[in-house]
């Protein structure tokens, strides 16, 4: 990747590909450098500018830099909505932007911030596309905020941990899980708290997998799976725990075990990010088919 950058320092394609790979491989700030280079190369290309500002905001989100998240999501949302395609990613950007406002204000919501958040949420609702996973998830979370007029402790910790996890910031994510998140688990376990346990085990298992602690990761993810049937809202945890376990088995070249995990996800319907999971499994199925002679799947 570095060789491509040196050979083609002014290539937008190389910069975009490099930014994407840095982000996927757990180096969000290096991805920011590459995406920012695109803005320098194409300063007057409005459509690309808005798209790149989303990518930069998301990279900063992965390290919980709320100030930069605000700057770049606000720039992204400035693009006029002229057709349905222009609504893409906006509801989620609005939801996270409102949370970034909240964090930047030291979690204090005065009248001015309340109005700002509510306006941002109203914009998000006007852009929701009912068949898009990220849109429907954002709408659900916005409605939860509206009931409480704040981001509850669970959502505060979840957004911070999940974005750090996605950015491969394993140590930081685990630190929050083992210090702040465990306070949520200290109350006696009951029906309303089972979502917290499932999310805690899922994110911890993902971090352990990321750190190549496979045995510990499997044990932890299976603890998340034990909460099946008792979840109130975060039911996506169950199929995604199977997905992550399957991805872990692929890393270990245990093709049959991975295939069984992916097969299990098919039994779940109507949960957050269902389309996202399907896309990931489709890609992994091709890997299994190429490497496992016992596979009878055809990219399902």
pLDDT tens digit sequence for 85-114: 889 999 999 999 999 999 999 999 999 999
Any alpha helices (H) in the chain, and if so which ranges? 2-7, 12-24, 28-41, 46-61, 66-77, 90-104, 111-127, 133-148, 153-166, 170-176, 182-185, 194-210, 214-225, 237-251, 255-265, 274-291
pLDDT tens digit sequence for 154-174: 999 999 999 999 999 999 999
Tell me the backbone φ, ψ of residue 147, rounded to 5 degrees. -70, -35
Position 61 scores a pLDDT of 97
Q: Rounded to an integer, what distance in angstroms lies between the CA atom of residue 80 and that of residue 90?
A: 11
Break the chain into its structural domains and give their ranges: 1-66, 80-151, 153-234, 247-300
Average pLDDT over residues 195-208: 96
| Contact call for residues 68 and 33 (beta carbons, < 8 A) | no
Confidence band for 189, pLDDT divided at 50, 70 and 90:
low
Q: What is the CA radius of gyration of the chain?
A: 20
């Amino acid at each position: 990747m570095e060789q491509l950058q040196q050979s083609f320092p002014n290539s937008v394609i190389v910069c975009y590909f490099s930014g994407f790979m840095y982000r996927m491989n757990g180096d969000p700030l290096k991805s920011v450098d590459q995406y920012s280079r695109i803005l320098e190369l194409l300063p007057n290309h409005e459509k690309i500018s808005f798209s790149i500002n989303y990518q930069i905001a998301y990279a900063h989100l992965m390290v919980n830099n709320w100030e930069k998240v605000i700057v770049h999501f606000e720039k992204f949302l400035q693009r006029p909505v002229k057709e349905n395609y222009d609504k893409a990613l906006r509801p989620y950007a609005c939801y996270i932007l409102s949370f970034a406002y909240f964090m930047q204000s030291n979690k204090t919501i005065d009248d001015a911030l309340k109005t700002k958040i509510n306006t941002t949420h109203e914009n998000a609702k006007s852009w929701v596309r009912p068949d898009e996973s990220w849109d429907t998830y954002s709408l659900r979370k916005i409605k939860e905020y509206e009931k409480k007029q704040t981001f509850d402790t669970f959502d505060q910790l979840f957004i911070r941990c999940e974005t750090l996890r996605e950015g491969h910031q394993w140590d930081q994510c685990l630190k929050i899980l083992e210090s702040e998140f465990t306070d949520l688990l200290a109350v006696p376990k009951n029906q309303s708290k089972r979502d917290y346990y499932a999310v805690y085990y899922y994110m911890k298992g993902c971090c352990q997998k990321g750190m190549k602690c496979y045995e510990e990761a499997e044990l932890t993810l299976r603890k998340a799976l034990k909460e099946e049937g008792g979840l109130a809202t975060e039911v996506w945890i169950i199929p995604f725990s199977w997905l992550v376990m399957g991805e872990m088995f692929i890393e270990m070249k245990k093709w049959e075990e991975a295939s069984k995990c992916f097969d299990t996800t098919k039994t779940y319907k109507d949960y957050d990010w269902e389309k996202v999971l399907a896309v990931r499994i489709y890609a992994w199925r091709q890997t299994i088919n190429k490497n496992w002679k016992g596979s009878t799947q055809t990219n399902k």
